[in-house]
Amino acid sequence: MIRAGMLLLAVMFLLAIPEPSDAQIYRWVDERGVPHFTEGIDSVPQQYRATAVPLPLRSAPPPA
């Protein structure tokens, strides 16, 4: 029983660790001038893809 509890605890711990995301964020502006942000160029409507700009993302500084 203790082994099952330890295994469950280990699995829960591993699932709680966030994975780094490789998604690219794009910014595009609609015909009303409203800026939109989305993950991936496929999420940008076809008529705005030519003007969609990938945003440079930087990692957050490590906690102090």
Strand ranges of the sheet holding 35-39, from the earlier edge strand across to the other edge:
35-39, 25-29, 53-54
The helix (H) or strand (E) run that includes residue 11 is helix 2-16
What pLDDT, on a 0 to 100 scale, did the predictor assign at position 13? 66
The rounded distance, in Å, linking the Cα atoms of 40 and 46 is 12
pLDDT score of 40 more than 70: yes
Output helix, strand, coil percentages for the chain, rounded to the nearest 5: 40, 20, 45
Tens of pLDDT, residues 6-31: 777 776 766 666 655 567 899 999 99
Query: What is the structure's pLDDT at 36?
Result: 97
